[in-house]
Amino acid sequence: MSSHVELIKSKLDIVDVVGSYIEIEKSGANFKAKCPFHNEKSPSFFISPARNSYYCFGCAAKGDIFTFVQEFEGLDFIGALRVLAKRAGVELTRENPAVRSERERLYLAMEHAALFYQRQLQNNPKAVEHLKKRGLTDETIKEWRIGYSSVEWRTLAGYLAARKVSVADAEKVGLIKKSEKGSGDYYDRFRGRIMFPLFDSSGRVVAFSGRQFESDGTEAKYINSPETPLFEKSKILYGFDRAKLNIRKNDFALLVEGQMDLVLSHQAGFSNAVASSGTALTSEHLEILKRLSNKIVIAYDGDDAGGAAATRGWQLALGLGIEVKIASLPSGKDPADVILDKPELFAEAIKNARHIIDVELEKIVHSKLDDRQRKLKVEKELMPYVAGLESVAEKSHFISQISYASGLKEDILWDIVRKAPVNSLYQSRQAAGSSMARPKIERKDGIARMLFGLMYRQEKAAGPSGISLDIRQKVCTILDAETVAAFDRSFEPIQDDLIFEAEASYAESQDFAAHIDELVRNFKEQLLREDFAETMRKLQIAERAKDTAATLELLKRCQELSLELRNITKRQ
């Protein structure tokens, strides 16, 4: 395994790998970007080609190409290995099945099932003909590994048993179910259905969605895999493994509903399309997409159910700060129908997709409500979403639009925005992204890391040549020896990380000494502010206790600290 890892690392450049997922820019000998692992407005994520690694000094995320792909795509190490091996053109040899972990056994069970369903489809001409009538080509059927499950009760169970897949593993991944008659027998979960495998972002089969083709004794049009150790419905997007880099390339994700909608979208060239499967769109789905692009276009069915699903989707997306547009499809038609009949019409709908606020405004304006009711609807239902927009320019744009269409004056709309009880979706924006958020490093701690990182870099003879500068001596002017020693002990395990941060930020600096002075000054200012806040707290306690002597002493100390702070800020 280690030989595979080293070979892949030798073939792939970290800048190319990370740059295929997020926007990066040159910064001296390194590259920087907004960190994809926590919310931030200015870049604190640095990539070092020389070290073949990355580091974020906003949240301390760090690693190499493998850890980046693991964290970005939510994969285990083997999944990241598969993604990067494919990209590097490295063939992975199979390890000994006898030492395979449980999780890998579960993946193997799903792979066996996918192959079985594919063979079953080829043995069922009626099912193949049905798929072709729906517009799928042989190539698409093969590429998406679409299959068929026999209407018989135990064909898959027998197939898996013959390949040494245990009953426990097959049940754990939802391929078989235990008989409810108490006989102890197991039967196939999927029977008489067109089978669509669902993949994780590395392309491994993790679940299935089966559409009814022959009667299996149930009325369910679709049956989906249950939640399993491999499959979390709220995190898996159908087609994401193929769409992820195209979402980044096109700078928007196309959201559709069903499997046929998704597969036909890709077949028609919309390779940035994804679909939720077996569940409604979730904030986890949207956070995954948001890492690649802050824009989505929703193309759900043109019926009432599709409209309701689209509404849930755009409300969630707006709540996460994502720009949402809606593609208008003919009433009663789904994307698969439109692509099959007139693919150019679907392309036109995507091209002309409109911002959701424009769409909702038009609905209100053309409703049968009277003028007063329309204005109230604008205030109560539309303006909270305008208030939640992050960009002031966008707010201004939509307020002008709404004013013109509704007759409400712009100053009234601005007043509504300022006073609006922002939709709870916006209030939970940070909470919704908490699964991906990391704790921010406080400013004082960040300055200390940078200052000590530069000091360690200099002490390891890695500092800029020709500069005579004793950073430790400068640090000792603001910290006593005991405190400096405490910092040294605390930072010892992460010295290399601190040096990387320092190099990423200051390696190309033209005025290194000035930067050191600024860091020392800023660090001292933060220490003084902390001391001032603590002294003020003690002063309030002394005043409440009517301790005159302590009050006078603390008041004097507050004045001294205030004077020191004024002197520091004057020099900045």
471-497 residue pLDDT tens: 888 888 888 888 888 888 888 877 877
Burial 16-45 (b: 16+ CB within 10 A, else e): ebbbebbebeebeebbbbbbbbbbeeebbb
pLDDT at 431: 44
Q: Give the tokens for residue 532.
A: 């001032």
Residue with tokens 């960009």: 391
pLDDT at 444: 62
342 phi, psi to nearest 5 deg: -145, 85
Q: Which helix (H) or strand (E) holds 341?
A: helix 335-341
Residues composing the chain: 572
Distance, CA of 326 to CA of 254 (rounded, Å): 10
Instruction: Report, as ranges of residue numbers, the positions in the chain whose pLDDT lies below 50.
Output: 1, 96-99, 423-441, 462-468
pLDDT at 183: 65
pLDDT at 503: 65
pLDDT at 486: 86
- What pTM was estimated for this model as a whole? 0.70
pLDDT at 441: 47
pLDDT at 302: 63
pLDDT at 220: 85
pLDDT at 339: 94
Q: 272 and 253 in contact (C-beta within 8 Å)?
A: yes
Beta bridge partners of 205: 199
pLDDT at 504: 58
pLDDT at 236: 92
pLDDT at 93: 65
pLDDT at 277: 72
pLDDT at 90: 87
Distance, CA of 314 to CA of 298 (rounded, Å): 8
What's the CA angle centered on 498, arms 492 and 501, to 5 degrees?
Answer: 175
pLDDT at 533: 85
**Sign of the four-CA dihedral 24, 26, 27, 28:** positive
pLDDT at 470: 81
